[in-house]
Amino acid sequence: MGHVAGPSGGAMGRGGHQPAPKGGVEVRRWWCLAMMAVACLLVSGCWDRTELEEEGFVPSFAIDTGPAPGVYVYTFRIAVPREMSGPSSSPGGGGGGGGGGETEKGSKSVSVVARSLGEAINLVNSTVERRLDFVQCQYVLFGEGVAREGVSPHVLDLLRFRQFRRTMFVAVVRGRAADSFKENKPVLESSVTRYIEGLQRLRTFTGMVPVVQLHRFARAMDTDSEDAFTSVLAINQAVKAQDRSKASQKPGANQGGGKESESPDEKARSEQQLQNPSVNFEAGGMQRVGGNPEEFPGAAVFRGDRLVEILDGQEGRMLLALRGELAHAFLTFRVPQGRFTVEVQQHEGGPAMSYNLAGGRPVWRIAPEFDVDLVSAVGNFDTRSHQGLSQLRQWAEQEFNRQAERLVAKLQRDGSDALGLGLYARKDFLTDAEWQNYRWPERYPQFSIQVQSRFVIRRVGNLLTSKRI
């Protein structure tokens, strides 16, 4: 059907409608562009802007038990950027109110009793002249009492509030968490951020500091396939007493013209601290003199949301090794022939797992593998022949397996699957209903777990043998 002429003689489209003039389309287009430009000016977001000078940044805070059930003590460490970056912010410096530790000139601590984190923030904002901001918060500390009581209410607050990042770190403090802010006096760092970054690097070097982020910690708590663990901090009371004794001395009281000298009593206490023949890897119990009163070897192990065990540095390192997360470490073994130290690097991909879930007491085998460099060997060792190195390797594997199985027995006694074995076992079930019916948390302590490590000696160091030394 052809076009039909309209009243004005022009052609009409199908249905008798006149086509829109080209000029009208251009006008509407320009009007839309103009309205969009005006809208961009109106919704620019400047009405709720916040200047940096109006913010009080909180790099870390602590949660402790309060005077009554359901009431907690929240301690916020508020950064003071000018004093933190100034020339007087040397590590371990004095002065500054509310501090006492490594950031006494770079931060101020404020504690408040409240029923929830939001209520605590509200109360502190009523006493501090700037609004608290947690966007740059690096870590949260749980006191031992709160951790044993259950941390799930506090973790839920951290996950839900938009200002907390899931990359922040979580740690447990022996005793009260607020004491960490008062007594923490790093040897080299004065910045809170750099101090936390240093702890992260220690994990990859020593293996005794299992730094864990909030996301991983909450994920382990939210599943029945593994249990959570994190780093543990503690105050060494002996080092703390030494530090207070030195601080009580008046500068210039001795003949050294201001240089402090150690009194006979202090010297005797220091020597006594180093006379213990056993090596202590427990946080807060290391035999040492000087340095930071705060120590952080070991791990805090949870069952559900409750703290059930605090491991020492060796056990925490073994935990990472059995999980396949031990990047680097020095291991010392003592055998009847003497003692030797090896530097280990774990193979990537995690340890080999073999297991059989059938039977009354299922068997599980963990086989971690390491590349080994011999660092020292004091005693009757043959490091020149293949047979001697093979014997050295067998001793290291046997001692490692013995220590690892002792750790596994402790975790099974506590009912905590901090090793994450449930993550492997879950893959053998087709549906979640089958996995739930298996009741892994109840059956895991009944497993017979064996450790079969493998050490591959790559280098023996710069010395092959010695006849007289």
Task: Specify whether 284 is located in the same domain as 391.
Answer: no
In 3-state terms, what secondary structure has residue 263? coil
| CATH of residue 437 | 3.30.300.210
User: What pLDDT is attached to residue 264?
Assistant: 62
Q: How far apart are CA 140 and CA 75, in angstroms?
A: 10
Helices (H) and strands (E) in the chain, counts: 15, 21
- What sign does the dihedral 212-218-219-221 (CA atoms) show? positive
Task: Specify whether 105 is located in the same domain as 200.
Answer: yes
Task: Specify whether 224 is located in the same domain as 338.
Answer: no
Question: Which residue shows structure tokens 């047979």?
Answer: 387
Domain residues for 220? 52-253+262-311
User: What pLDDT is attached to residue 265?
Assistant: 63
Task: Specify whether 66 is located in the same domain as 156.
Answer: yes
> Does 6 reside within a domain?
no
> Does 43 reside within a domain?
no
User: What pLDDT is attached to residue 353?
Assistant: 94
Among the listed residues 66, 163, 79, 67, the one whose alpha carbon sits nearest the alpha carbon of residue 121: 163
Determine contact, residues 351/437, Cβ cutoff 8 Å. Answer: no
> Does 18 reside within a domain?
no
**Residue 391: both structure tokens together:** 């014997």
User: What pLDDT is attached to residue 247?
Assistant: 61
Most distant pair of Cα atoms in the chain: their distance:
122
> Does 22 reside within a domain?
no
Q: Is 405 exposed, middle or buried (0-12, 13-18, 19+ CB in 10 A)?
A: middle
> Does 10 reside within a domain?
no
Determine contact, residues 344/326, Cβ cutoff 8 Å. Answer: yes
Task: Specify whether 349 is located in the same domain as 306.
Answer: no
User: What pLDDT is attached to residue 55?
Assistant: 85
The CA-based dihedral angle spanning residues 164, 165, 167, 172, taken in that order and rounded to the nearest 10 degrees: 10
Q: How far apart are CA 214 and CA 61, in angstroms?
A: 14
Task: Specify whether 243 is located in the same domain as 391.
Answer: no
Task: Specify whether 101 is located in the same domain as 182.
Answer: yes
The CA-based dihedral angle spanning residues 250, 253, 254, 256, taken in that order and rounded to the nearest 10 degrees: 80
Task: Specify whether 213 is located in the same domain as 348.
Answer: no
User: What pLDDT is attached to residue 285?
Assistant: 85
> Does 128 reside within a domain?
yes
Neighbours of 315 (CB within 10 A): 23
> Does 3 reside within a domain?
no
Task: Specify whether 93 is located in the same domain as 203.
Answer: yes
Give the C-alpha distances (Å, rounded to integers) separating 452 from 41, 213, 223, 262, 396. 68, 30, 28, 50, 11
Q: How far apart are CA 379 and CA 73, in angstroms?
A: 54
Give the amino acid at 218: A
Q: pLDDT tens digits for the chain (469 residues)?
A: 444 444 444 445 455 555 556 667 788 888 888 888 887 776 666 656 667 777 889 999 999 999 999 999 999 999 887 655 544 444 444 333 344 454 455 788 999 999 999 999 999 999 988 889 998 898 999 999 999 999 999 999 999 999 999 999 999 999 999 999 888 888 887 776 677 777 777 777 888 888 899 999 999 999 999 999 999 999 988 888 877 666 665 554 444 444 455 566 666 666 676 777 778 889 888 888 888 889 989 999 999 999 999 999 999 999 999 999 998 899 999 888 888 999 999 988 889 999 989 877 889 999 999 999 999 888 888 888 889 899 999 999 999 999 999 999 999 999 999 999 999 999 999 999 999 999 999 999 999 999 999 999 998 887 777 665 6
Give the helix/strand (H/E) hosting 27.
helix 22-42
User: What pLDDT is attached to residue 324?
Assistant: 93
User: What pLDDT is attached to residue 21?
Assistant: 60
Q: What does the radius of gyration of the chain's CA atoms come to, in whole angstroms?
A: 31
State the alpha helices, DSSP H only, in 209-251.
214-221, 237-248
Determine contact, residues 346/370, Cβ cutoff 8 Å. Answer: yes
Task: Specify whether 127 is located in the same domain as 271.
Answer: yes
Q: How far apart are CA 412 and CA 414, in angstroms?
A: 5
Per the structure, the count of domains in the chain is: 2
Task: Specify whether 340 is located in the same domain as 286.
Answer: no
Task: Specify whether 332 is located in the same domain as 306.
Answer: no
> Does 30 reside within a domain?
no
DSSP per-residue string spanning 413-440: HHT--TT-HHHHHGGG-SSHHHHHHH-H
